[in-house]
Amino acid sequence: MLLIILKKLLKTNLINSMQKILVFVSVILTVLISCETIVEIDLPEKKPVITVNSLFVPFTPPYPQQFKVELTSSVPILDTSNYKTIIPDAKVYLFENNEIIDTLEYIDTLEYYISSAYPQTGKEYKIEVSKTGFNDVICSDIVPERVTIDTATVINYGGLDSNGEPFSEITLSFSDPAGVVNYYEIAVSRAGSYNDYFYLSANDEIITSESYYPSILMFDARRPQFLPYNDIKINETPKELKIFYMPPYMKIIDGNNESTYIDSHIIDIHMRSISENYYRFRTSYLQHLNNKRGDGLFGMNEPMNVYTNVENGYGIFAGYQEDIITLEVEGIQIQ
């Protein structure tokens, strides 16, 4: 009916060209608004499942870690809270090469299930978890062979990045075992801390070609704190890598002059030999974080499913080895 009225108006000389345009736009908007349909979608409630978080490593001085497992409950898709729902009263059984070796104890202060056992190289570990109201979950993985750092050096000031912030440069070398596919991860932390990791970047193709590594189009992408990679593109041994991290620094203003001072600090360089499960989980999780942020030209990316090796649940249960080198970094003032 509105379109018929519009045609009659446009055929008359009662309105000029500008008025015709305004009438046309008004009618179209009215038609679009009147055609709006509200569709209510009734999303089915999904039963919560157990989520496992456990990365285990053999006894490794100077920071040995006991076997520990975090259990949480999954949340509905529309739940926007950031709180984890800890499961404190599950039954957790630990197996080594299919033989039960321990029943893990829940520690309230840590919110973890702890075992007195330490994993061993080359052995397969499995946990079975049961909790009333949830499906039982099973997950397993092995501890890969250890690969050590041959040499490591650090330059306290390596230059300024695109944001004008200083970065320090680490050069390390290692010998990659031949004949097998190996997976690695590099991290840099403050000495003695497993929670205070530095943000990292690299320019070597074996790292920058990984799917999770931020594209140059992602102008606001956060640098990763972990650099997982595989040895498919490593053709020589030993292999040398350069890694860059953002050190602690401060701006100093003296009158009209401004300079930057990099604080003295001590770092731990973590060279990890990781399982395939660990590698697939970490790379997919980092890519998931990047996809949530999108890029500067094309906006948001497609959602990314994070890899899991937990049967009937979510999360990760994976082993790794670690070599740690501690280096002292001197402070320096940059004009």
Is 312 within 8 Å of 135 (Cβ atoms)?
yes
Rounded Cα gap, residues 233 and 181, in angstroms: 10
pLDDT of residue 43: 52
Residues in the chain: 335
Q: Is the pLDDT of residue 335 over 60?
A: yes
Residue type, 51: T
Residue type, 275: S
pTM for this model (two decimals): 0.81
pLDDT of residue 92: 98
Q: Is the pLDDT of residue 220 over 70?
A: no
pLDDT of residue 10: 43
pLDDT of residue 7: 47
Work out the mean pLDDT of the chain and round it to a whole number: 84
Q: Is the pLDDT of residue 297 over 70?
A: no
- Enumerate the domain spans of the chain: 50-142, 149-306+323-329
pLDDT of residue 18: 46
Lowest-confidence pick of 115-129, 189-203, 205-219: 205-219
Name the residue with higher pLDDT: 190 or 216.
Answer: 190
- Distant-in-sequence, close-in-space partners of 123: CB < 8 Å, separation ≥ 6: 96, 97, 142, 143
Is 203 within 8 Å of 281 (Cβ atoms)?
no
Rounded Cα gap, residues 41 and 77, in angstroms: 14
* Cα of 134 vs its chain's centroid, Å: 27
Confidence of residue 12 (pLDDT cuts 50, 70, 90): very low
Report pLDDT digits (tens) over 158-186.
Answer: 998 888 889 999 999 999 998 889 999 99
Tokens describing residue 208:
């920058």
Report pLDDT digits (tens) over 124-165.
Answer: 999 999 999 999 999 999 999 999 999 999 999 999 888 888
CATH class of 50-142: mainly beta
Report pLDDT digits (tens) over 69-96.
Answer: 999 998 765 555 556 799 999 999 999 9
Q: What is the dihedral of CA 12, 16, 17, 19, to 10 degrees?
A: -100
pLDDT of residue 249: 94
pLDDT of residue 27: 47
- Arithmetic mean of pLDDT, 29-49: 60
The H-or-E segment that residue 29 falls in is: helix 17-34
pLDDT of residue 237: 78
Start-to-end CA distance of the chain, whole Å, equals: 74
Name the residue with higher pLDDT: 11 or 250.
Answer: 250
